[in-house]
Amino acid sequence: MAKIEKLNEALFYKTLKNGIVNCKLCPRLCLIQNQARGNCGVRQNIDGKLYSLVYGKPCSLALDPIEKKPFYHFMPGQKTLSIATAGCNLHCLFCQNYEISQARLENIQFTEAPPEKIIKEAQKLQSKIISYTYTEPTIFYEYMHDIAQLAKKEKIKSAIISNGFINKEPLKKLLPLLHAANIDLKGDAEFYKRVTGAWIEPVLESLKLYKKEKVWIEITNLIIPNLNDSANQIRWLATWIKENLGSDTPLHFSAFYPTYQLK
């Protein structure tokens, strides 16, 4: 079991009466009692202040082909330094990275890597892209933001692979630092309610904002037999993308394999 030491104060929260904290990073708007954590498991209220438990503590760091993210129309053929921390603000029954996305930081292995170290690692590996991926980058927002800020100065591009479940204010602050986004649009509204533990509306609003701010977008949809694979659901998905993001938006269909709570 790893030990958590230095903590960084989180962004986007408000302290209420009795020391309760209202986190405003994602649409859950968690009300967090003193010493408790938000839904994501990695943002904790300590004496009326909200802290990120995962800042500078990646649990996964790897050099990947950009196509693995998947991006097929953003810097094809390049390698990207991929980074993730523990935690997620969705709880998909089919999560393929559940060992880290649904884990608490103290229960898994992680390394100490401040943003400056990530930049040096990318330069060492001659990677022109850093990707925030594997789990949900929203929950390590402050860490991602600071890495992306340094990366921009060093002419390294930043790409986010996300569920899109984030509030508008933090997303607007992040967008100028991002060059590409692959967003999981997992299914229709009913699918989100049944399978992800979240709701679809904020995801659709995030996608529109990415488009408005001219961040390159690709969409991924994991096809799960009997849950989101009907002709009507796929027709809705393609139609929504065409009408709101444009007919030139790449849509990736990926294959399901039984895992986590969908075995």
pLDDT tens-digit profile of 84-110? 999 999 999 999 999 999 999 999 999
Query: Could you give the domains of the chain?
Result: 8-52 (no CATH), 60-255 (3.20.20.70)
**Distance from C-alpha of 28 to C-alpha of 39, rounded to nearest angstrom:** 8
Distance CA 140, CA 127 (A): 21
Do the Cβ atoms of 115 and 26 come closer than 8 Å?
Answer: no
pLDDT digit string (tens) for 204-239?
A: 999 999 999 999 999 999 999 999 999 999 999 999
Question: Do the Cβ atoms of 67 and 120 come closer than 8 Å?
Answer: no
pLDDT band per the 50, 70, 90 thresholds, residue 7: confident
List, in sequence order, every residue forming a beta bridge with 79; answer none if it has no partner: 65
Mind listing the pLDDT tens digit for each residue in 159-183?
999 999 999 999 999 999 999 999 9
- One-letter amino acid at 164 equals G
Say what the pTM is.
Answer: 0.96
Residue 261 pLDDT greater than 90, yes or no: yes
- Check if the beta carbon of residue 95 is closer than 8 Å to that of residue 102: yes
Whether residue 1 is predicted with pLDDT greater than 50 in this model: the reply is: no
pLDDT value, residue 5 = 61
